[in-house]
Homo-oligomer: A and B are copies of this chain.
């Protein structure tokens, strides 16, 4: 017998993984959740049939969604993480001893509990004493907050389903207010290659760049996401991620990473022309 998981990257493109077994399949209040075991990627889980995290390349996504901001402002002390139910983003943040507070707001408690059971590689640091877990809607959580965080990381699903509100102007405005004077917003920013993802990428960037004085986009190679070409948004009130990167200070933290380094920190902001053109264009 062979068992294959197949994801539709577009209506015309499919990516399939041979799986050893399905570890869990169920429905939360918000979405369908599946966990699988595979030889190539180790354990992985999907939400509504889309790959979220796998043991083979989760390090790439989690390196890139955290360390770029921390090397730009190594004095970040209070962090808000929205989404990120697998715990990988929080795991990377807990490696910084000087971070004092990590508030994680995940709408779907079931995702967190299942990751704690099946994916300890990412979920293992959710019990760090600096971490406060809130099982709430991130959109509502940031409403009314003022100057509380040095960094907000939006580690969301795609803007369809429970992640939708995390791609709106109101939400980005509330993030701006919730950030300190030196605040940085990092968000997963979809992909430029397939049209369905590229549309969301452009919309998100158009909204953020109207709100934040500094708004840049950086890229990473994440093979299990559609096209493998994934983007992150870096929006900031004060710090420019290239001009202000604190290379020595970050390297002195002594944090070992398998993807991120301070050369790549600069390199990842140099985007292909076709991506730059999409980001600069005003069409939707």
- Please tell me if A270 contacts chain B, counting CB pairs below 8 Å: yes
- Please tell me if A97 contacts chain B, counting CB pairs below 8 Å: no
- A270: chain B residues within 8 A (beta carbon): 261, 263-264, 266-268
- Please tell me if A15 contacts chain B, counting CB pairs below 8 Å: yes
- Please tell me if A229 contacts chain B, counting CB pairs below 8 Å: yes
- A266: chain B residues within 8 A (beta carbon): 267, 270
Contact: B274 with A258, CB < 8 Å? yes
Partner of A12, one of B40, B221, B258: B40
Contact: A38 with B12, CB < 8 Å? yes
> How many residues on the A side are at the interface (Cβ–Cβ under 8 A)?
40
- A134: chain B residues within 8 A (beta carbon): none
- Please tell me if A147 contacts chain B, counting CB pairs below 8 Å: no
- Please tell me if A144 contacts chain B, counting CB pairs below 8 Å: no
- Please tell me if A228 contacts chain B, counting CB pairs below 8 Å: yes
Partner of A273, one of B219, B221, B257: B257
- Please tell me if A49 contacts chain B, counting CB pairs below 8 Å: no
Q: What is A's interface to B at a CB cutoff of 8 Å?
A: 4, 10-18, 38-40, 57, 60, 193-194, 219, 221, 223, 227-229, 257-261, 263-264, 266-274, 276
Return 11 A-B CB contacts under 8 Å, by A number.
A12-B39, A12-B40, A15-B16, A193-B223, A219-B221, A221-B272, A228-B228, A258-B272, A258-B273, A261-B273, A264-B270
